[in-house]
Every structure is written in C-alpha cells, then in structure tokens.
Structure 1
Amino acid sequence: MTDEFETTTFDWLEAELQDTLDEDFEIEFAEPMLSMELRKIYRAQHPEMLDRKVYFRNLLRLQAELIKLQDWVIETGAKVLVIMEGRDSAGKGGVIKRITQRLNPRVARVVALPAPNRREQSQWYFQRYVPHLPAGGEIVLFDRSWYNRAGVERVMGFADDTQVEQFFEDVPEFERMLVRSGIIVLKYWFSITDEEQQLRFLMRIHDPMKQWKLSPMDLESRVRWEQYTKAKEEMFSRTNIPEAPWYIVEGNDKKRERLNCIEHLLTQIPYTDVASERVALPDREYNPDYERRVLPDELYVPKIY
C-alpha cells in the first residue's frame, strides 16, 4: 500500500511540475500573428536573443529567491516599494509579471492607477499614491507612479511648467520621507531604442491579441519620442538621489531584461533565509455515517474539452 501511494504521489507531483512548466510556456508565448516580412525584420534585429533553456533555468532560480525574499518580508515586517517606469512597450509589465508570478498576492501586489479623476486633480499631487504604499510585510510594485508628472503629463501638456517644477522640488523630499519611514524604495527605468519601440508597436498593431495594449496616448508618445527623451534626462538629473537612486534596465532583449532586473532587485534588499517549520499533512477525519450528496447536473460546467 505504501509503495503504491508513493508511486501515485510521485506521478501527481510530476504532473504538477509539468503543469507549472506549461504555465511558464503559456506566459512566455509571445510569437505574434505577424506577417512573414515583419517577423523576418524582427528576428534580424535580434540575432543574439538569450537561449530559452538558459532563460527558464535562471528565471526559476530567481523566482525561488523571490519567495525567500517574500518570507523575509513577512517575518521582519519589511516594507518594499518598487517603482517601474519606462517608455511604452519597454517591458515593464513583463518584468512585473515574472516577479509576482509565484508570490502570494496578499504580500506582493501591483498598483497601476488610471488617470486621475476631477477630485484627485484638485488634491496634493502625491495624495492618491499614498494609500497604496506598502505596510509592514508587503511588497508593492508601481506600474508607473508619481513620475507620470515628469513624463506623460509634462510631454502631453496635462501639467504646466509650474506644476512640473513644483514636482521636481517636492519629489526628492517625498522619497526621503518614505525611506526615513522604513520603506525600501527601488526605482527602475526600462530603456529601449527608438528602433525597438517602433518594431514593438508594429507587432501590437498586427497581433490581434496585443492590440488592446495600444492606446491613442501610446501612438502620440511615438510621435513625441524626442520630447520624452528630454523629459527623461531632466527627470534623472533632478530625482536621482542617494536615498532612492534610479537604475536603468536595458530592455531590447526581453528575457535578459527580466533576469537582470530581478537579479539586481534581489541584491538591493538585505534578505536572509527564514527558518520554517516542517509541514506535515494531517490525516483527514472520516465519518462512516456521512454520504456525499449528488448535485444536479445543471450546476456543473459543461465538459467541452
């Protein structure tokens, strides 16, 4: 009986591992429905993309370390804030997805705020971000942040020169306050070339599964590439403070971008292994008088597959 149980358990664990790998492949499945011409152009521009086996092996290793980081954050009550910024299509979402993929969503959460409403526009600029800051035992990743004011709001004319200047004066002290309160602040800028963004926008236009990612604002940002570059350069020069410096992640190769960012993030937080008790599955209680009810067929989802 024991040997049969162990064999069944091993088969089940192997199936679970395979399911996990299938999930990875599904997430990584990014081959767009492109014309052959566009596909050839893209591959010609990326002749030295990271090997998939190397990528997956390192991704799983880093995700295991992220779980250790999560355990340390819970155990110590640490507060971690990760700000993700960059041009449209630079890969922020892909990095965030790989960081949070195997973490507890009650510990690691993503904040992606929409455009401010009329009431929020009348508030102190940082006010709508404050409620989303991490409490003890939390990791928060901002998919864009208050740096919208230094980028899209400035370039698109949603903020005037006075508001932008006020932002640059306020943000260093605001972030110093966060650090003094015990929050670990990490700021990443995901960088891609002009040519790479053009290719990725074309991919989104021609891939029905990615067209939702393109907004009129994205297309306008493409037109104003140089204005965004100038805005980014001033943002770095005025907000790169010792307490919360900027880190630039090169993103033309998405796989390298993800691995490099996660590897760096792990080096910036002084986490250690947390001892945990060995978990043992308790025996289930059996009631000989209990009979499981037969539920009506209409309650079940049809077995189409």
Structure 2
Amino acid sequence: MSKLKRAQYDALLEPLQVQLANAARWLQHSGRRLVVVFEGRDTAGKGGVIQAIHEHINPRQCRVVALPKPSEREASQWYFQRYAAHLPAAGEIVLFDRSWYNRAGVEKVMGFASDAQVAAFLNATPAFEKQLIDDGILLFKYWLCCDQAKQEKRFADRRQDPLKGWKLSPIDLEARSRYRAYTDAREAMLKATHTAHAPWTLVDFNDQKLGRLTLIQDLLDRLPDTRIDAPDMTLPPLPGKPLREHYNVLQPIPTLKV
C-alpha cells in the first residue's frame, strides 16, 4: 500500500497536471513533437501513470498507443513500421503503453522472436531513435521497476477484482514463471539501447502513487522551460434569458431497497 494517502497524492498531482497542460500548450504553439515510451513488467503501473499524464490534455492532441500483437501482414513488414505510423505530427503528444521494445522483452522471453531477430533489433534501435531525435522529436524512455513480491500481490488483486480481470491474460500468467528471464532480457536491452541521445530512466514503481509523481516531475524537468499563457477567454453576456431544453428524458432507476 502506498505511504501517500489519496488526499495527499491528489494535492501533489494537481500542480503537476497543470504543468503538463502548460507543456501541451507550448508544444501546440511551437509545433514540437513529443514521444514518451513506457516499459516495465506486468502490473508495474504503466496504465496508471499514462492516465495521470493525459487526463487533462486534449485527446486530439495527446494520444495513447497500445498496439496488439502484429497481424500476419504487419509481421512481414519492417519491424518499426507499425510503430512509426503512430508517431506524432506537429504539436502532438504520443504515449506508448509498451512500444517497439516488445521485441526485446515479451517477444524474446516468450519465444515469439528468434535470437537473430532480437539481436538485429537491439543493433538497429539506437539508429532508429537517433533518426527520430534528429528529425526534431522529443523522445523520453521510462522503465517502471517492480519487485516480484509486489507483482505477485498485484496479480492476486487483479484476479479478485472483476473490474480488473481484463488486465490478466494467459501470457501474464505464463510470464510469472519467467521473472528471471525478463530481468536478463531487460538488462540486455538497457545495455544495447541506453544511449546518450536516447537514455533510459528507471523509476521505482513499487509504490505506484509515488512512482507516478516522480516520473511526471522528471518528464516536466526534461521538457524545455517555455510557458505559453492560456488565451483570455471572456464570456460575453447572453442576449436574453437562458433557454431551457425540452425533451423526453430517460427516467432514473429508483433506489433499490434491500
């Protein structure tokens, strides 16, 4: 359980979300493009921090990309092709909930990619990311760290919560027995792709609330310190009395008595 109470967390998160909204306004004004990659073990907390980031940003500007397994056609393409199709245009933000690094993680550990394919990926990725950065994209990569005991507890919580059942798949269950293999794959990935132009940032997400706050603050610190004031929206008075709608509405469900 988090050491932060919900009220404390909300009070700390709100000013960060205001800064995120300011950053989004700057991106839109400047035409810059932002890509943030979120990787980590199952249950680490990728979805929660992504939601906290995009919650108060225009969804037309900020998109979350969480791709399913590739189709037969996509599997025959250049590996990065289906990810490149989701890169941002001017002023946009793209948050990758898992990314091209699937090849170095789940695909390697679960045997969905050959050793040769994984080696080729690790060799090609620094050059691919250098091209993105040279083209002007702001690229940030985060790995969310989660201990095995914490992961086990979160798996159990998902299994017992009907609203979180969709988060638990057969692949997740199989991954439980391969914790060490995922560790080895992660270390190989970091060694090959932690570069000066696109470094990895590891964040402790054993406490998810604290992890979200830490990651968001780090992201804000890495963005250019440029503020664009919000436009002054003055609401002129209505020309007459407010109009009332006339329609047939669905009746509310009466309170159930037990």
The verdict on a shared fold, with TM-score over 0.5 as the criterion, is yes
Map of 1:37 onto structure 2: none
Instruction: Please say if 1:282 is aligned against 2:236.
Output: yes
For 2:132 and 2:69, locate their aligned partners in 1 and report how far apart those are by CA, in whole Å: 23
Instruction: Please say if 1:304 is aligned against 2:258.
Output: no
Map of 2:123 onto structure 1: 169
Map of 2:98 onto structure 1: 144
**How does the TM-score come out when normalised to structure 2?**
0.94
Shift of 1:208: 1.7
Shift of 1:211: 1.5
Map of 1:155 onto structure 2: 109
Query: What secondary structure, in the 3-state scheme, does the structure 2 residue paired with 1:54 have?
Result: helix
Per-residue displacement from partner, 1:151-176 (whole Å, max 9, x unpaired)? 00011111001111110111000000
For 1:292 and 1:270, locate their aligned partners in 2 and report how far apart those are by CA, in whole Å: 47
For 2:170 and 2:225, locate their aligned partners in 1 and report how far apart those are by CA, in whole Å: 42
Map of 1:88 onto structure 2: 42
Q: Could you tell which deviates more after superposition, 204-213 or 149-158?
A: 204-213
For 1:293 and 1:261, locate their aligned partners in 2 and report how far apart those are by CA, in whole Å: 45
Residues 63/276 of structure 1: CA separation in 2 closer, same or farther (3 Å cut): closer
Could you tell me which amino acid in structure 2 is paired with residue 59 of structure 1?
A: L
Shift of 1:285: 3.8
Map of 1:24 onto structure 2: none
Residues 284/156 of structure 1: CA separation in 2 closer, same or farther (3 Å cut): same
Listed as ranges, the matches of 1:181-196 within 5 Å are 181-196=135-150
Map of 2:214 onto structure 1: 260
Listed as ranges, the matches of 1:174-213 within 5 Å are 174-213=128-167
Q: Which has the higher contact order (CA 8 A, sep 6+)?
A: 2
Residue-pair matches, total: 253
Map of 1:124 onto structure 2: 78
Shift of 1:243: 0.7
Shift of 1:206: 1.4
For 2:95 and 2:246, locate their aligned partners in 1 and report how far apart those are by CA, in whole Å: 45
Shift of 1:278: 1.7
Map of 2:60 onto structure 1: 106
Please give the root-mean-square deviation of Cα atoms over the aligned residues, in Å.
1.6
Is contact 1:72-1:271 (8 Å) kept?
A: no
Q: Which entry has the higher C-alpha Rg, 1 or 2?
A: 1
Query: What secondary structure, in the 3-state scheme, does the structure 1 residue paired with 2:142 have?
Result: strand
**How does the TM-score come out when normalised to structure 1?**
0.80
Query: What secondary structure, in the 3-state scheme, does the structure 2 residue paired with 1:128 have?
Result: helix
Query: What secondary structure, in the 3-state scheme, does the structure 2 residue paired with 1:249 have?
Result: strand
Could you tell me which amino acid in structure 1 is paired with residue 58 of structure 2?
A: N
Shift of 1:284: 2.9
Percent identical across equivalent pairs?
48
Could you tell me which amino acid in structure 1 is paired with residue 218 of structure 2?
A: H
Instruction: Please say if 1:240 is aligned against 2:189.
Output: no
Shift of 1:292: 7.4
Q: Which stretches in structure 2 are left out of the alignment for 5+ residues?
A: none
For 2:33 and 2:231, locate their aligned partners in 1 and report how far apart those are by CA, in whole Å: 24
Query: What secondary structure, in the 3-state scheme, does the structure 1 residue paired with 2:138 have?
Result: strand
Shift of 1:51: 3.0
For 1:78 and 1:293, locate their aligned partners in 2 and report how far apart those are by CA, in whole Å: 42
Query: What secondary structure, in the 3-state scheme, does the structure 1 residue paired with 2:38 have?
Result: strand
For 2:193 and 2:52, locate their aligned partners in 1 and report how far apart those are by CA, in whole Å: 27
For 1:125 and 1:63, locate their aligned partners in 2 and report how far apart those are by CA, in whole Å: 34
Map of 1:270 onto structure 2: 224
Map of 1:56 onto structure 2: 10
For 2:142 and 2:33, locate their aligned partners in 1 and report how far apart those are by CA, in whole Å: 17
- Alignment partner for residue 74 of structure 1, among 28, 35, 42? 28
Shift of 1:293: 7.9
